[in-house]
DNA sequence: CTGTTAGCGCGTTCAC
DNA sequence: GTGAACGCGCTAACAG
């Protein structure tokens, strides 16, 4: 009855009963007195195995503390059961929330997620190729994270979905609505009687920002107002302070600031307040993202909440669909956003 | 000269020159007119291959857009070149920062990272086993994330390191210093003349909190003061409000709050302020973690900054050491923390 | 219900 | 400098 084994090594003579560093399906089979096929069956839940045999196998697994080798399984089934997620960085709640959504949905679908952060990587293209090696499909946040060349290379090899990035060729993309919300937000500030609004953020920096700026412009046009040129600044904390300084110095004139994100808005607002300026009295400030701090500062920051979590969920879902043979969606998937009115725009709210 | 091939399928007749969905090392070899051994050599940079041959291979790789199958390589080399990271959740900057440190160091070491979030998972043990299948080693944040039973099972199979969690048996652990910093922080508030301090957080909730509470107690003892019983609350936003309400109602009496983390401190502080209380005039509030909001609120939140990023780096490093055959460290690795004094403790700072 | 056997794609000795 | 052949551990037909 002893089952024959092909592979090498640790046959019977392996020390005591419990624990063996590299237990394989062969050792388990031997221990249980069955064939590897049977072991595989009970572990995969496929086929039918008698209760007694099942128990014997389970016991052997337990005793040997058997951990299947994922690589071997992946090779046999011909897919990794893993999704790759490429994020530019991980600061602030935006990326984290997206990651949470992505991971949770992926897990539900039985896929593990391999994360890669591009920030700080010397050779991103190399890292992406390395990632592609271990996963079935890849989601990238913001096109900037993945050089178009790499994207093109991957595309066709593995399913790719771009999250909140510039659409490329026939690559799928999912994103949040920006233009219309930005228009509403701007109109809201305008409706408070403000007339000299400034858009703080670089429209050329990311498609998201570009759309928000477009909304900013549209709101002005609707009132026959001429929008000022955007204040093209990057997203670092220091820049917020710098903008505030320029306003305090009278270099910049405005009675309302529409910032491309909350970090920027928060930094500017607190700096202005420290200098004795009244927000929103003298100048209204609104942001984008609804980060935690937005509801703790006073006045509360009026902003726009994005369905970031759902964006992650959607990305994971699309990837899984594609891996399962689904066709790529031609149209970008767009999720709705929501205005969050607090006090910094001039409303009575705290 | 045509090389023979073992595996199936797509031999010569495969459509046009470029792109083939599932290029393998065989197709590349065939295309380059060499053996798979040679292809492997140039791709791994091992052995010596003539310049011309190397170029032929590289060209073939390029044309076929060849992406090696990680699973096959892993199976052959017998390791995944991936580290697992288990986090309870991903809210706030703490986990994100840790993840960044872990990922960046892992990447430097040529390891990809597979992330798993326990929150929301029905069967954590199952998820952990699944993860173990695809990685060489695992880091867990907080023992709560991984049932001791699972930890024990994994331990011995794969290297495991616990981050900021209760040490277990012979499992390695890395963490930040807590007790002494908490004592200093508490003493600082005490030095402001406060005498009725309250520790907000559940010492039994996590070893980190337990140590901070120990420091809180130690600071009192050093002044021959009797510390009040800790206010055992969980870490949700709602609880902060609840605590504030109890203080406002006079149910709780205190002139200083030492909170187990910033989220809690922030929520309490803003709620108190909204109700007209003077912070720190009537009551001082300090936190732990130094989240972004801590420097934007007024008064700025006095707190303790942890070397979270470095904790992640260290964990990744230890894992790699272990995978490379290094011995486990017996002593827990402890990284230093730093007090961040702002205004909420009673200091003049903004 | 269970065992045999043939790959999955790649790294890696050995010969040449 | 290069190729042939074997094995990594597991799944999936195919027999019985």
Q: Which of A107, A114, A296 sits opposite B127 (nearest CB)?
A: A107
**Residue B134 predicted with pLDDT over 50:** yes
Q: How far apart are CA B229 and CA B197, in angstroms?
A: 10
pLDDT, residue A4, reads: 44
Residue B139 and residue B116 in contact, taking contact as beta carbons nearer than 8 Å: no
pLDDT, residue A19, reads: 47
pLDDT, residue B18, reads: 44
Domain boundaries, chain B: 12-64, 72-174+309-333, 179-306
Largest CA distance in chain B: 91
Q: How far apart are CA A185 and CA A179, in angstroms?
A: 10
A166 to chain B, minimum CA–CA distance in Å?
Answer: 23
All residue ranges of chain A with pLDDT < 50 are 1-5, 7-19
Q: Which H or E element spans position A340? A: strand A338-340
pLDDT band at residue B334 under the 50/70/90 scheme: very high
Digit-coded pLDDT (tens) for B58-114: 999 988 989 999 999 999 999 999 999 999 999 878 899 999 999 999 999 999 999
**Residue B5 predicted with pLDDT over 50:** no
pLDDT, residue A291, reads: 86
More reliable by pLDDT, A43 or B350: A43
Question: Is B179-306 in the same CATH topology as B72-174+309-333?
Answer: yes
Question: B267–A96: do the CB atoms touch at under 8 Å?
Answer: no
Optimal mutation site among A296, A299, A348, interface B, most CBs of chain B within 10 A: A296
Question: A91–B95: do the CB atoms touch at under 8 Å?
Answer: no
pLDDT, residue B238, reads: 77
Residue B93 and residue A293 in contact, taking contact as beta carbons nearer than 8 Å: no
pLDDT, residue B15, reads: 34
Nearest to A243, CA basis, from A298, A200, A193: A200
Q: Give the mean pLDDT of B131-153.
A: 81
pLDDT, residue A169, reads: 76
Digit-coded pLDDT (tens) for B200-222: 999 998 888 999 999 999 999 99
A68 to chain B, minimum CA–CA distance in Å?
Answer: 6
Question: A75–B71: do the CB atoms touch at under 8 Å?
Answer: yes
The CATH homologous superfamily for domain A179-306 is Response regulator (3.40.50.2300)
More reliable by pLDDT, B217 or B4: B217
The share of chain B scoring above pLDDT 70, in percent, equals 90
Compute the mean pLDDT over every residue in chain B, rounded to the nearest whole number.
Answer: 89
CATH fold for domain B72-174+309-333: Rossmann fold (3.40.50)
Q: pTM higher than 0.95, yes or no?
A: no
CA–C1' A131–C6 (A): 30
Q: How far apart are CA B20 and CA A116, in angstroms?
A: 26
Q: How far apart are CA A266 and CA A92, in angstroms?
A: 13
R_g over Cα of chain B: 27
CA–C1' A126–D12 (A): 35
Segment among A194-198, A324-328, B152-156, B261-265 with least mean pLDDT = B152-156
CATH fold for domain A12-64: 434 Repressor (Amino-terminal Domain) (1.10.260)
Reduced to 3 DSSP states, what percent helix, strand and coil does chain A have, rounded to the nearest 5?
Answer: 45, 15, 45
CA–C1' B40–D4 (A): 14
Measure the N-to-C terminal CA separation of chain A; round to a whole number of Å: 78
More reliable by pLDDT, B26 or A205: B26
Residue A141 and residue A95 in contact, taking contact as beta carbons nearer than 8 Å: yes
In strand D, the nucleotides that come within 7 Å of a protein beta carbon are 1-13
B300 to chain A, minimum CA–CA distance in Å?
Answer: 11
């Amino acid at each position: 009855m002893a089952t024959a084994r092909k592979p090498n090594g640790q046959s019977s003579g392996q020390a005591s009963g419990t624990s063996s560093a590299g237990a394989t399906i062969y050792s388990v089979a031997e221990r249980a007195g069955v064939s590897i096929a049977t072991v595989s069956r009970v572990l995969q839940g496929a086929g039918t195995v008698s209760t007694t045999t099942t128990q014997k196998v389970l016991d052997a697994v337990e005793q040997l503390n058997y951990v299947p080798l994922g690589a071997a399984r992946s090779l046999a089934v011909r897919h990794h059961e893993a999704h790759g997620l490429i994020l530019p960085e991980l600061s602030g709640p935006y990326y984290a929330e997206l990651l949470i959504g992505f991971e949770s949905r992926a897990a539900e679908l039985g896929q593990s997620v391999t994360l890669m952060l591009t920030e700080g990587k010397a050779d991103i293209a190399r890292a992406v190729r390395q990632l592609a090696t271990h996963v079935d499909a890849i989601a990238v946040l913001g096109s900037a994270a993945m050089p178009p060349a790499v994207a093109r290379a991957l595309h066709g090899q593995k399913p790719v979905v771009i999250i909140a990035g510039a659409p490329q060729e026939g690559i799928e993309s999912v994103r949040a609505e920006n233009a219309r919300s930005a228009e509403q937000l701007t109109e809201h500030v305008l409706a408070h009687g403000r007339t000299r609004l400034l858009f703080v953020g670089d429209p050329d920096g990311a498609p998201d920002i570009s759309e928000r700026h477009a909304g900013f412009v549209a709101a002005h046009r609707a009132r026959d107002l001429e929008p000022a040129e955007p204040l093209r600044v990057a997203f670092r904390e220091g820049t917020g302070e710098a903008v505030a300084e320029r306003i305090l110095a009278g270099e910049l004139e405005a009675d309302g600031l529409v910032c491309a994100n909350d970090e920027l808005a928060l930094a500017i607002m607190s700096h202005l307040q420290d200098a004795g300026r009244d927000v929103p009295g003298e100048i209204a400030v609104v942001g984008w993202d609804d980060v935690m701090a937005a509801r703790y500062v006073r006045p509360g920051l009026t902003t726009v909440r994005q369905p970031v979590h759902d964006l992650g969920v959607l990305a994971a879902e699309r990837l899984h669909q594609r891996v399962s043979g689904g066709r790529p969606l031609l149209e970008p998937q767009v999720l709705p956003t929501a205005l969050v009115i607090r006090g910094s725009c001039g409303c009575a709210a705290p």
